[in-house]
Chain A
């Protein structure tokens, strides 16, 4: 567990970080408008992981999380997942709806839709940053929320992708509002054929040789 694969070079990871920074800048603006207060966002970590190491990255096989799930369509197929640690979910939800949430595993309907909206804002911002960088036209579907074991979320997503050896591009983001620090992790899991497409478009944008 926790083992990092390196289909990407440091140079490419830096480029992904840059995409992450552009995306989170835009997401911060959108989020600040949504909550009516200033929220800062920054990218703390970017890495590429094999799918079976995701649970380890999130804190272990029996870790409980809130996960927003969105299908990705367009020039690449896959799934976007945004994980929020369950122990900070009440705070996150309270920040979004301006009302105290007590039980993170039993959020109010408003709290749930705010978390989904946050997932949707982040995903939209990262996808449009990707578009600007490597001209891959991507859109996302309707967000769904699950509060459950991280491993069960991954199990379900791997079934959806019909693979057990997927690679995930991870952008870990930190939100800062009034000194309050909250994190979320954005995962992009391309389908096997789409990963190659992504890699090629990305390499081309960086002026690197491509496989195709």
Chain B
């Protein structure tokens, strides 16, 4: 069966199985959070915008916030038959593209990254690899065949984590 590719837009959460790929185009200060169960070859990707759902308790788009997106992604994966103890995470994105002259204490991109780390720690899911921060946008291709993530940046060699 040929592999299919599923694009995960801003604030979306998607799951897929081997040999398909999950893709997030142009992550700027957003963060792509991948979860992968290597044994069952099933995984998911969330494209989150903001660190915490406590910022807007009245708005209910769980995929927007790192904390609620991880909860929802986890739930969806367990329903797909993933094993919680086998799950491993990777984080990509969280850049600061318009580093302004007046520096922000901690740019939103890195706040998204730390909120994601905190939530994953709380859930006991190890973070295997990260490609975060910096000032460049990233496009990610997450292969559910082997869990590898291909990362593309403008004028940079392709990276894998």
Contacts and interface: CB of A to CB of B under 8 A. Distances in A.
A3 to B, nearest CB: 14
| Range for the number of chain B residues in contact with chain A | 20 to 34
A166 B152 CA distance: 27
Given A62-B139, A144-B100, A151 B49 contact: no
Contact of B137 (A52, A151, A158, A164): A151
Contacts of B29: 155-156, 159-160
A35 to B, nearest CB: 24
B50 A142 contact: no
Contacts of A160: 29, 108
A105 interface: yes
Given A148-B154, A149-B137, A158-B49, A69 B98 contact: yes
B155 A152 contact: no
A105 B28 contact: no
Given A142-B100, A148-B97, A150-B26, A155 B10 contact: yes
A162 interface: yes
Contact of B49 (A61, A149, A152, A159): A159
A19 interface: no
Contacts of A55: 26
B25 interface: yes
Grouping DSSP codes into helix (H, G, I), strand (E, B) and loop, the B interface class, with mixed when no group exceeds half, is loop
Interface in B11-36: 11, 25-30
Nearest to A156: B28
Given A155-B28, A159-B30, A164 B97 contact: no
B99 interface: yes
B27 A152 contact: yes
A62 B25 contact: yes
B10 A52 contact: yes
B137 A147 contact: no
Contact of B26 (A61, A144, A145, A162): A61
Interface in A133-165: 141-142, 144-160, 162, 164
B117 interface: no
25 contacts: A62-B25, A141-B100, A144-B98, A144-B99, A144-B100, A144-B101, A145-B98, A146-B137, A149-B25, A150-B26, A151-B137, A151-B139, A152-B26, A152-B28, A152-B139, A154-B26, A155-B10, A155-B29, A156-B97, A158-B49, A160-B29, A162-B55, A162-B56, A164-B11, A164-B64
Interface of A: 52, 55, 61-62, 64, 69, 105-106, 141-142, 144-160, 162, 164
Interface of B: 9-11, 25-30, 49-50, 55-56, 61, 64, 95, 97-102, 108-109, 112, 135-139, 154-155
